[in-house]
Structures are given as structure tokens and as C-alpha cells.
């Protein structure tokens, strides 16, 4: 084990002198998972990485984050925890020869003792492609388990093949409370820190160190070491000595922190991205801040102006046509005067764009480009060049000259015939475009009326019969519609939930796997747990997981499934079935809500973490489809309309009475959750799909003994009317699928 992670030297003797003389930040490295401060999103209870470390089932990983966030410290914890042999290399100091020596030792260790080897590589992005390729086969065959550490985005700076065989964990800068805890631990630690003395800080001095450290633990501890060990002489003093750190000493110990900025690296792209998004979002204060950061870090002003020129067309566009001219003028002015006065045209351009109205309608070009790539349509005859082939081919014949008309405009076809009526550009309502919008749309309407009115109808009519299409065609069409419906439900749920890579997600009613696979993709560093109602469903999902491209590499990364007939588990069941009993998100998609809302709210309260949310998508009966609506358009005579009107009234009575339908509505659900101190938000979603209604469906609906709907209708309608409705619906379904329309309620329920 390397000296970085060991208190013994190569002779096996304690190197206490080395330990005592090493920097404070090195001495205070965590030794166990419990010692780690912050980074709960990847090593907190129930998180994937913590489970893998505790089970000693670690696969290759890359730790990515700014300096001082604990990448090397986390590696040292793994070194102290794992039963595998531990090797480490620094990419700055080592080459292919060092890699081969480590591989030889690892291979021999595995062959002779069946012992795995974990290889920690600090600054892994510093290795060139050849060095990274030299390691790749041994990571591939499992000879070594790689732990790479890097301050650069591994997706850009590390070999793609190496990244694809590793799981990426992003470490974040520590918050001020975390840094304060690290400082207090250091002051109290008698073995590695300053617990043998009485270290006191002037009011505000320690807070100043924490603030300026900016999330960097190493920076904080280095500053503390300088402040403490230079405030008393000689060092070390006798035990119990009082050491006072004044505000002046604290300020001298931690100078202005160097900006996290690399003109060729990740921070360069992140900062320009923040700048562009702030300008696009019309926030002049944020735009100026990111602009100042780039200038302070030495960014090339030509690069900044280039991005602002692009933004002037892409994001401001025709909402303010002058924006492009202003930015280009500012760029030319900067070339003439340079720094430091050049800061004025830089700021001028930034503020003009940030405060300008926004429109991205220039993106319509790419829609047109897709059509060109899809089909290379011919130029209409009347638009062709008449100067060459007018006599032989009639080119240009029929062209209307706009200037011969009032307002210098005339309606005629300009698009290819195959694209008649196609729209690419839709003016926004903002700025200059808002002024021309009405005129553009009016002209487009006139143009469409003239061009399309005389054109022959092409394509397939929307009305078609069973004989012309056949049942096979119906089912293909219905299957396509159902796929779209499911995809929309899934996307709405995850968009509303706002899950993160490290989220812990519980998915009840997960038999279809619709939400399960998406959660695995979106939360690779967290936990996905799901409930199914049978062992057969659980086995099917686990088998399916083996063939899905969801990067499920080992047991720690698979979904955790449990079988139960209940919608939600108890806390005790969670502790038995899963790696945690609290979840950040609970996602439920259910066509009907049959669970008692009060019981559901109580169960959710015990399972949701603080600030967690429940996303529930269901369709209340009162917002469902009505047979009366389907039949309304089919009524050709007064007698039929009267019967359907009676049916409509009866259906409204049935669906408004939830006790008859045996289901709950959204108002009961909201009341139950608000009573349990949840905050409830609702969104209504219009749903529709084509459905092929069969005789089996009719038999089920109109069954007066087993169907609640059929029983209620038979009691409230005359027998002849009830029979007439069934016959009318039977006649309708012979004509093909029915457009089934209903509304779903998407609930976002917060645990306050």
C-alpha cells in the first residue's frame, strides 16, 4: 500500500515523524466513510457508491470535481476499507513503464492469491492516449479496478473507452457548514489536529477563512495551519497553550483564491455557458458577473465577442434586428482600442444583448434543412429562370411580379409542390417581430387559401372504413398511439419530479417497467427501488434488465425489487427489502386510484425524505370518457339525440358519485395530503388515443350484474333506451377505432 494511504514506511516501521511533519490537510484525511464531510449525494446512506464500498464490490470509477472536494480522501477511505490490494500512481509523475509494473504485480497477485487490486490514479486526465490505452485491457479483464481522480470533465479529457468502462461520480464543492465542521474537527482532534492546545479565533476570523476557501477543504486547512502555527513561537508549544487567531492573521493566512478557470478545459466551457445562458435569460447582473470572471481569468476577448455575435442572431434575432449591428460595432471598437478601455464595448455589447427582447425564430432554418435532407424537391416551374429556357420549357411562365401590385405583394406558391402549406417560420410576439407578426400571418393565410384552394387533394383521407384498411392496419395504428401515450406519461412524470443523478427513487406499481428503466438511466449514482405484485413480474423485470442498455454492471447497480400487493411499503419493509427507508422521489402512474387517500398520505409521510416529492399521475372517473360523447356525432335523427341526452345525464350522475364507481377523485386526494401537511400542486393533462372497441368490451360494459356502469344505467334508463344505446355503439364500432378522450391529473406533492 502506498505511503499516501499508509502510516508505515517501506521497512514496516511507523513513520511518525513523516506523519507529524506532513501538511495538516494530509494529516486530517478521513479514514472511514463516517469521517467524510459532505458529498452525501454519492456517499450518504443508501447511495450507490457507499453500498459498493461497504460491500467491497467496487467496480471501476472516476471521481470528478474541483480541487479540495475530497477525491483523494475518498480514495484513502476505500484503501482503508477494501480487502483488495491497493496501488496508486500519479499521472503527472508516472508513465507506461510504471503502469506495466503495477499490472504485473496485480496479475501475479490475482493468479497466486485470487486477490483483487484497486489502482488509484490521481490526475488521470494528465495521461496521454497511449498511457490510457495501456491500462484499458487490464481494466477490461478485471485485473485492476480503476479509481481515477480528475478536476477536468472526464467525458472530454479521459479516453472514451476508459470512461465507458467506469462509473462517473461528481464531487461538489463543500458548503460553508461542511467546511466549518471540518475546521472544528481539526481544532478538537488531539492526534492529528490541534486538540492538544486551546485554539481560539477572534469573532468572524474562522468565518472569513471558511468563506474565502470557497468550498475547498484543502485551502481552508492550509490557511488554518499557517494561521495557527505562526501565531506562537516556537512550534509546537507545550500542551494546553492558548493560541489566539486574530482577524488580521486570518486574512493574511488566506489570500484571494485563484479563479477556477482553464482556458482550454472544463471551467472555460462551463463559464462561457453560464454567460450565454444568463444573457439568453435576460439577467444583466449575472451576465456581467460571468463576463468579469472571464476577463479576470484572461479569456480571449475575440472568443467572447464571437459568442455574443452568434447569440445576437440565435437568441435575439428579429425581436431586435439592431442587436447584431450593435455587437459587431462593439467588437470593431474593441479591436481599435484594446484593454483596459476595451472593457467598455465588452460591457456595452453584454448589456445590450441581456436587456434586448428575445426570439429564436432563426432556428426555423434547421427545420427547412431537415426537409432538404429528406427530399430534394424540384423548383416550381413559375419560379425557374426565364432568361434561359422560357421558350423551350416555359420556365417562369405564370410567375406573378409582386411590385405590380399594391403593397408590393401577391399571393402565390413559392415552396415546392410537395411542401405546399408547410410552415417553418412562426414570428414571435416580442419586439420587432411582434410588430410584423400579424402581417406575416395574414399573408400566409391568404397564400394558403389561394394555393391550396385550387390544388388537388392529395394523400389519405382521415375517414376510412374497416374494409379499406383491415384489422391488421388498425392494430398497428393503435399500437403506435399507445406507445406515444406511454412515452408522454413517462416524460411528464420525470419532468415534474426533477430527479437528479444521485436521487433515491421508489416506484410502486412497477410491473410494466415504464418508469423503472428511465429512473435507472437518470439516477446512476442513486437508488432505484420498485414494487411489483408478483414473483413472475419481478423475475420478468430482472431478466429484462440483463438485455437493456442501462449500464447495469454489478449487483450494487441493479434495481432493488420487492413483491407486495400493497401500493406502498412500511418503513420496516423498506429496511428489509431496500438499502434505505427514505426516498427523494416516489413516482406512481396508475390509471385509477383505488387506494384510500388518507392511508396513502400517511404512508407517503413516513417514506419521503425532507423536501422530497410524490409524483402521482392518475385519471379520475369524472374526467373520463363518456359513451354519450362517442355517440353524439352519430345521431342523425331526433329520437336518437334524445336517447343520448338521457344517457349523458345518467353518466354525469354516475361519475360524480365516487362511492358508486368505487374510486376516488382528485379533490379527496388533495384534502387527504394537505391534512398531513403536504403541499399539493395539480396539472390537468388532456389524453386521447384510438381504441378498437370489441364485442367483449360491450358485453362487459352492458352487464347489469358485474358492471357498476351497466347496473347504474339499467336502473336510471328505460330498458328500450338502454338496449338502443348498446345497439348504436355496436353499429359505431364496426366502422373502425374510436377516438377515446379523457383527462389525467398530474399531482406534485411536496413533503414540507
Question: Among 152-161, 412-421, 542-551, which stretch is predicted with the lowest mean pLDDT?
Answer: 542-551
Helix (H) or strand (E) holding 166: none
d(CA 730, CA 725): 9
pLDDT of 593 > 80? The answer is no
Global pTM reads 0.55
All cell numbers assigned to 618:
392518475
All cell numbers assigned to 213:
476557501
More confident residue, 465 or 121: 121
Going by C-beta distance under 8 Å and a sequence separation of 6 or more, which residues neighbour residue 700? 706, 707
Q: What is the DSSP letter of 92?
A: T
**pLDDT score at 680:** 93
| Burial class of residue 497 (count of CB atoms within 10 Å of its CB; 0-12, 13-18, 19+) | buried
Residue among 656, 647, 553, 668 at smallest CA distance from 600: 668
**pLDDT score at 639:** 58
All cell numbers assigned to 743:
383527462
All cell numbers assigned to 16:
511518525
More confident residue, 419 or 696: 696
Distances (CA, A) of 716 to 648, 657, 728: 11, 14, 18
CB 548 within 8 A of CB 517: yes
Which three-class secondary structure state does DSSP give residue 444? helix
Radius of gyration of the chain from its Cα atoms, rounded to whole angstroms: 34
- What pairing do the DSSP bridges indicate for beta strands 504-507 and 242-245? unpaired
Instruction: Quick: pLDDT tens for 102-144.
Output: 999 998 988 888 888 999 998 888 888 888 888 888 888 888 8
**pLDDT score at 463:** 24
Please, which residues bridge with residue 614 across strands? 586, 749
pLDDT of 392 > 50? The answer is no
Going by C-beta distance under 8 Å and a sequence separation of 6 or more, which residues neighbour residue 156? 266
The overall average pLDDT reported for the chain is 80
Going by C-beta distance under 8 Å and a sequence separation of 6 or more, which residues neighbour residue 481? 689, 690
In degrees, rounded to 5, the angle at the alpha carbon of residue 683 between the alpha carbons of residues 682 and 684 is 125
More confident residue, 77 or 4: 77
pLDDT of 574 > 80? The answer is yes
Question: Among 121-135, 194-208, 251-265, which stretch is predicted with the lowest mean pLDDT?
Answer: 251-265
More confident residue, 744 or 624: 744
Which three-class secondary structure state does DSSP give residue 449? helix
Instruction: Quick: pLDDT tens for 307-333.
Output: 999 999 999 998 899 999 999 999 999
Q: Please, which pLDDT band fits residue 275 given cuts at 50, 70 and 90?
A: very high
d(CA 665, CA 670): 9
**pLDDT score at 453:** 40
Instruction: Quick: pLDDT tens for 58-110.
Output: 889 999 988 888 888 898 898 888 888 888 888 888 888 888 899 999 989 88
Instruction: Quick: pLDDT tens for 702-738.
Output: 988 888 888 889 989 999 989 988 888 888 887 777 8
d(CA 142, CA 145): 6
Which three-class secondary structure state does DSSP give residue 614? strand
More confident residue, 517 or 392: 517
**pLDDT score at 91:** 85
Amino acid at each position: 500500500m502506498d505511503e499516501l494511504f499508509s502510516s508505515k514506511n517501506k521497512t514496516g516501521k511507523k513513520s511518525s515523524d513523516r506523519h507529524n511533519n506532513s501538511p495538516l490537510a494530509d494529516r486530517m484525511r478521513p479514514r472511514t466513510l463516517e469521517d467524510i464531510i459532505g458529498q452525501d449525494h454519492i456517499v450518504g446512506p443508501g447511495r450507490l457508491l457507499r453500498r459498493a464500498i461497504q460491500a467491497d464490490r467496487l467496480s471501476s470509477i472516476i471521481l470528478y470535481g474541483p480541487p479540495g472536494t475530497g477525491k483523494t480522501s475518498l480514495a484513502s477511505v476505500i484503501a482503508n476499507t477494501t480487502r483488495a490490494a491497493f496501488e496508486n500512481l500519479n499521472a503527472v509523475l508516472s508513465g507506461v513503464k510504471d503502469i506495466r509494473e503495477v499490472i504485473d504485480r496485480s496479475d501475479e497477485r490475482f493468479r497466486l492469491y485470487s486477490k483483487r487490486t484497486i489502482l488509484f490514479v490521481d490526475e488521470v486526465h494528465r495521461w496521454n492516449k497511449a498511457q490510457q490505452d495501456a491500462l484499458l485491457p487490464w481494466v477490461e479483464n478485471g485485473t485492476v479496478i480503476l479509481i481515477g481522480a480528475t478536476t477536468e470533465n472526464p467525458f472530454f479529457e479521459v479516453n472514451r473507452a476508459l470512461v465507458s468502462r467506469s462509473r462517473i461520480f461528481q464531487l461538489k464543492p463543500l458548503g460553508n457548514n461542511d467546511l466549518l465542521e471540518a475546521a472544528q474537527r481539526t481544532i478538537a482532534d488531539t492526534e492529528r489536529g490541534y486538540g492538544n492546545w486551546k485554539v481560539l479565533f477572534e469573532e468572524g476570523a474562522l468565518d472569513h477563512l471558511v468563506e474565502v476557501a470557497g468550498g475547498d477543504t484543502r485551502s481552508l486547512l492550509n490557511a488554518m495551519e499557517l494561521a495557527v502555527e505562526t501565531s506562537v513561537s516556537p512550534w509546537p508549544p507545550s500542551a494546553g497553550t492558548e493560541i489566539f487567531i486574530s482577524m488580521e492573521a486570518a486574512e493574511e493566512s488566506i489570500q484571494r483564491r485563484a479563479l477556477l478557470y482553464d482556458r482550454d478545459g472544463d471551467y472555460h466551457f462551463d463559464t462561457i455557458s453560464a454567460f450565454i445562458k444568463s444573457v439568453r435569460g435576460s439577467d444583466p447582473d449575472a451576465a456581467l458577473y460571468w463576463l468579469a470572471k472571464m476577463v479576470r481569468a484572461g479569456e480571449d476577448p475575440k472568443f467572447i465577442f464571437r459568442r455574443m455575435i452568434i447569440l445576437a442572431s440565435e437568441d435575439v434575432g428579429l425581436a431586435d434586428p439592431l442587436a447584431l449591428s450593435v455587437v459587431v460595432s462593439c467588437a470593431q471598437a474593441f479591436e481599435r482600442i484594446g484593454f483596459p478601455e476595451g472593457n467598455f464595448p465588452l460591457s456595452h455589447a453584454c448589456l445590450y444583448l441581456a436587456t434586448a427582447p428575445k426570439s429564436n425564430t432563426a432556428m426555423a432554418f434547421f427545420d427547412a434543412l431537415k426537409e432538404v435532407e429528406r427530399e430534394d424537391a424540384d423548383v416550381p416551374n413559375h419560379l425557374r429562370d426565364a432568361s434561359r429556357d422560357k421558350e423551350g420549357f416555359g420556365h417562369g411562365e405564370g410567375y406573378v411580379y409582386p411590385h405590380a401590385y399594391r403593397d408590393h405583394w401577391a399571393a402565390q406558391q413559392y415552396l415546392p409542390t410537395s411542401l405546399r402549406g408547410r410552415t417553418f417560420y412562426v414570428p414571435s410576439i416580442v419586439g420587432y417581430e411582434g410588430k410584423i407578426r400579424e402581417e406575416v400571418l395574414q399573408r400566409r393565410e391568404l397564400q394558403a387559401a389561394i394555393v391550396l384552394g385550387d390544388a388537388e387533394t392529395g394523400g389519405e383521407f382521415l375517414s376510412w372504413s374497416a374494409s379499406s384498411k383491415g384489422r391488421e392496419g388498425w392494430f398497428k395504428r393503435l399500437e403506435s398511439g399507445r406507445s406515444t401515450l406511454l412515452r408522454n406519461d413517462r416524460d411528464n412524470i420525470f419532468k415534474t419530479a426533477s430527479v437528479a443523478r444521485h436521487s433515491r427513487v421508489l416506484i410502486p406499481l412497477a410491473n410494466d417497467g415504464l418508469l423503472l428503466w428511465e429512473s435507472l438511466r437518470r439516477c446512476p449514482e442513486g437508488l432505484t427501488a420498485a414494487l411489483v405484485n408478483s414473483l413472475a413480474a419481478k423475475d420478468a423485470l430482472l431478466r429484462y434488465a440483463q438485455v437493456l442498455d442501462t449500464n447495469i454492471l454489478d449487483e450494487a447497480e441493479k434495481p432493488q425489487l420487492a413483491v407486495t400487493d400493497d401500493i406502498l411499503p412500511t418503513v420496516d419493509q423498506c429496511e428489509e427489502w431496500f438499502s434505505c427507508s427514505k426516498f427523494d422521489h416516489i413516482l406512481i402512474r396508475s390509471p385509477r386510484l383505488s387506494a384510500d387517500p388518507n392511508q396513502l398520505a400517511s404512508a407517503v409521510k413516513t417514506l419521503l425524505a425532507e423536501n422530497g416529492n410524490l409524483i402521482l399521475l392518475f385519471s379520475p372517473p369524472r374526467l373520463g370518457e363518456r359513451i354519450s360523447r362517442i355517440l353524439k356525432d352519430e345521431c342523425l335523427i331526433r329520437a336518437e339525440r334524445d336517447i343520448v341526452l338521457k344517457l349523458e345525464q345518467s353518466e354525469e350522475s354516475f361519475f360524480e358519485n365516487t362511492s358508486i364507481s368505487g374510486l376516488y377523485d382528485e379533490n379527496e386526494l388533495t384534502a387527504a395530503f394537505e391534512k398531513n401537511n403536504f403541499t399539493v400542486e395539480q396539472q390537468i393533462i388532456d389524453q386521447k388515443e384510438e381504441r378498437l372497441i370489441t364485442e367483449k368490451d360491450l358485453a362487459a360494459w352492458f352487464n347489469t350484474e358485474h358492471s357498476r356502469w351497466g347496473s347504474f344505467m339499467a336502473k336510471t334508463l328505460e330498458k328500450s333506451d338502454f338496449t338502443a344505446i348498446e345497439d348504436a355503439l355496436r353499429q359505431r364500432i364496426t366502422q373502425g377505432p374510436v377516438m377515446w378522450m379523457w383527462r389525467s391529473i398530474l399531482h406534485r406533492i411536496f413533503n414540507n
